[in-house]
Structure 1
Amino acid sequence: MKLFLFTNLILTTLTQSTIVKGNEGVNGDSELKSQYGVTFTDSCDCGYLDHDDTDLSKSDNVWSDMWHVDFRPWHNTKKFNDIWVAKYNIEAKYENTLDRTFTSENVWLNPSDEGGLQLAVTVSKDINNKTIMRCAGFGTQRNDYLYGSFRSYIKTPKIPGTVAAMYIYNTQEEIDIEILSSVSPPQSYFAIHPGLLENGRASHLTHDNHHLEFDPTVEFHEFRFDWSPNLCIFYVDGVEARRMTTNIPSLPGRLMFNHWSDGNPNFSQGPPEQDAIFEVLNITAFFNSSMTDPETGFNTTAPAKCSKTQQPCNIRGIMDYLQAMPPESASQEVDLPPEATRIPTSETKKTAITSDGTTLLGGRQRYGLGFILYTINLCSLVLLKINYCNRGI
């Protein structure tokens, strides 16, 4: 019983980071198993398997790498080095629309217990009574994502007149999920760029208006797209909503989020009459990389070596674990990501590649210690139960 009380006390006082990266260590050569049956090893070098037992018609994708960040106050780290915050200006694209000024001042962490990274759209007037539209955005430092499954829990603003977006971006192509707060009943827009037009309107081959069966301003919901060669599948709360096979991007890019308005009556509408907030709770990516080591010539999109594990880690189990991690201390201070005065064009963090082509990212998974103590706690309960049974209690 003393062991149980001791480990329980420690578990309630630890601060746990959830910048999670594969394929590098959990804790040396340790292997941990959660109550959901997902096994985390020191190297998921067989990749990450996306398998759905409830729908055997779907093909199984295996991705080589994983990245996860959680913006809830009890999970966030002191620095978010894997992302950058937008600080640049986009001039008005159409007549009678507004410039969009992206500023780091409009990005902050929600101080409430609910948490989340908040992206604000604010409107003000300058000394000449000209409308100033301030927007918010951020993106991953990595720009080498080449196919993968990208998902995020988000909550959109109640204030009409803005666009909340999650997308893969390179200078020639995009995969977009957008939610316009002026549209009622609520919809999510799925799009591939460059898009096709039919009779002057966006073609259903590269664009879809998906009606949502819930109010996205009330609670967080998971939006996701799975990007593979010649196919992109969009999901809402784990349910397939649309698949597209036309103009699917084939070049690497970065993952981005933004919240904006330009007052365009034909799209964003607005400007909003008061400050509007778009919230991102967490982001998870299972992906392949386009990076090639110039010395060895090995590409990280090559098949996994499976030198340490004999089968891929199960994505469904990993997601169950990440969503169920218990709250920890929320008393830490955090620093926001660095600013970027334009969308970065070069990679700021290089992927290390061993001589045999195995991919290693420049960081470690950091949930090991807290979860080891959780496992000790669970085992102590099991041992106590066995002891009581043997004594006839």
Structure 2
Amino acid sequence: MDSNQKNVLHGSFRARTRVIPDYSDDPPVAPGAVLGFFTYHSDTEESDLEILTYDPTTNIRYSNQPDEDTETGNTIPGASTDAVLPNNKVWTDWHDHRLDWFDGMSRWYIDDELALEKTKNVPTKPSGLILNLWSDGGEWSGNMTVGAEVIAGFEWVEMVFNISGTNPSKRDQAACNVGCNVDGVQEVGVPEVAFDSMSSDSTSDDSTNDDSTNDDSTNADSTSNDSTSSNSLSSGSSAMVAGGVVDQVAAVVVVQVLAFWALFFFGSN
């Protein structure tokens, strides 16, 4: 899956997913495939969450690209981490994975628990979001036995993001009057109004900090619900395509799959 929106510049990207185990004793999933969830502008402007099925089911690769020096072939320190998931979690179970991309920092979460953050080689260019499952028999993915298969399941995908340029475009109004929460809501992908300065019974601006996707509400490039941000966002929804602009608060793009399974067959000698 590849988002139509390619001008995303900072945001929070979430997906509930897992690699489906085949319930064999060892290994639980055929080795040789890669499940990717990442922002992408180019091979040197990319922020990755990757599950390699030859890795232990407790490990996920988090990285900002480039993570290798093309001249020396050496790994760039701080750009990539083979991380052990907290609390004995495994990627064969359903989990909510999240990548927050800020100006100068990438953060990865699992089930709302911070797993890792990086400041090395954080992307700076407008990007899209990609989810894929692949194998090429190469050194990175590893070799998959002919006839083997790997299955990935997705329940939903959510994007909350800033944009660079148009589509969707911002309103011409001088300020935004409405703030929304996207975390802690009753239904994933459906923002809830946190405040409306034009309404007499609106809640206070302080409430917008409780469920922000950025701990620093003063960050002008964050996906925070702070309506004073110089890069406040637009609200809308569709299936992987940004929808109509409602208010400059949070752009929310949701794929509510629930009954969707991605089945991929791979094989190489």
TM-score range, shorter chain: 0.5 to 0.7
Q: C-alpha separation between the residues in 1 aligned to 2:11 and 2:189?
A: 20
2:141 is the counterpart of 1:268: yes
Unaligned runs of 5+ in 2: 21-28, 191-239, 257-269
How many residues end up aligned between the 2 structures?
A: 193
Q: C-alpha separation between the residues in 2 aligned to 1:147 and 1:234?
A: 14
Q: C-alpha separation between the residues in 2 aligned to 1:206 and 1:268?
A: 19
2:151 is the counterpart of 1:277: yes
One of 113, 118, 129 as aligned partner of 1:255: 129
Change (3 A) 1:300 1:248: farther
Q: Tell whether the 8 Å contact from 1:155 to 1:216 is kept in structure 2 after alignment.
A: yes
Which residue is 1:120 aligned to? Answer: none
One of 140, 153, 160 as aligned partner of 2:3: 140
Greater relative contact order structure (CA < 8 Å, 6+ sep)? 1
3-state SS, counterpart of residue 250 of structure 1: coil
Which residue is 1:192 aligned to? Answer: 64
Which residue is 1:306 aligned to? Answer: 176
- 1:285, CA displacement in angstroms? 1.2
- 5 Å matches for 1:54-69? none
- 1:149, CA displacement in angstroms? 0.6
Unaligned runs of 5+ in 1: 1-137, 325-347, 367-393
**Aligned-partner residue type, residue 164 of structure 1:** L
Q: C-alpha separation between the residues in 1 aligned to 2:62 and 2:172?
A: 29
Change (3 A) 1:360 1:174: closer
One of 15, 32, 35 as aligned partner of 1:161: 32
The Cα offsets for residues 308-365 of structure 1, whole Å up to 9 and x where unpaired, read as x3xx2223222x53299xxxxxxxxxxxxxxxxxxxxxxx9687679xx95898x99x
Change (3 A) 1:260 1:236: same
Q: Tell whether the 8 Å contact from 2:14 to 2:159 is kept in structure 1 after alignment.
A: yes
Change (3 A) 1:141 1:299: closer
- 5 Å matches for 1:43-192? 138-157=1-20, 158-171=29-42, 172-192=44-64
Q: C-alpha separation between the residues in 1 aligned to 2:51 and 2:4?
A: 24
3-state SS, counterpart of residue 269 of structure 1: coil
**Aligned-partner residue type, residue 162 of structure 2:** N
Change (3 A) 1:289 1:323: closer
Q: C-alpha separation between the residues in 1 aligned to 2:174 and 2:82?
A: 37
Change (3 A) 1:206 1:305: same
Tell me the percent identity: 24
Change (3 A) 1:352 1:280: closer
The Cα offsets for residues 115-149 of structure 1, whole Å up to 9 and x where unpaired, read as xxxxxxxxxxxxxxxxxxxxxxx111111211011
Which residue is 1:210 aligned to? Answer: 83
Change (3 A) 1:237 1:204: farther
- 1:235, CA displacement in angstroms? 1.0
The Cα offsets for residues 70-108 of structure 1, whole Å up to 9 and x where unpaired, read as xxxxxxxxxxxxxxxxxxxxxxxxxxxxxxxxxxxxxxx
**Aligned-partner residue type, residue 203 of structure 1:** I
**Aligned-partner residue type, residue 153 of structure 1:** R
3-state SS, counterpart of residue 317 of structure 1: coil
The Cα offsets for residues 146-196 of structure 1, whole Å up to 9 and x where unpaired, read as 101101111114222100000011135111100011112531001111224
2:110 is the counterpart of 1:240: no
RMSD value, Cα: 3.8
The Cα offsets for residues 217-248 of structure 1, whole Å up to 9 and x where unpaired, read as 2x211111110111111111211111111221
When normalised by structure 2's length, the TM-score is 0.61
Which residue is 1:322 aligned to? Answer: 188
Q: Tell whether the 8 Å contact from 2:180 to 2:250 is kept in structure 1 after alignment.
A: no
- 1:302, CA displacement in angstroms? 9.9
- 1:255, CA displacement in angstroms? 0.7
Q: Tell whether the 8 Å contact from 2:30 to 2:144 is kept in structure 1 after alignment.
A: no
Q: Tell whether the 8 Å contact from 1:167 to 1:174 is kept in structure 2 after alignment.
A: yes
Which residue is 1:123 aligned to? Answer: none
3-state SS, counterpart of residue 143 of structure 1: coil
- 5 Å matches for 1:287-298? 287-292=161-166
Q: Tell whether the 8 Å contact from 1:147 to 1:229 is kept in structure 2 after alignment.
A: yes
Change (3 A) 1:184 1:201: farther
Q: Tell whether the 8 Å contact from 2:59 to 2:90 is kept in structure 1 after alignment.
A: no
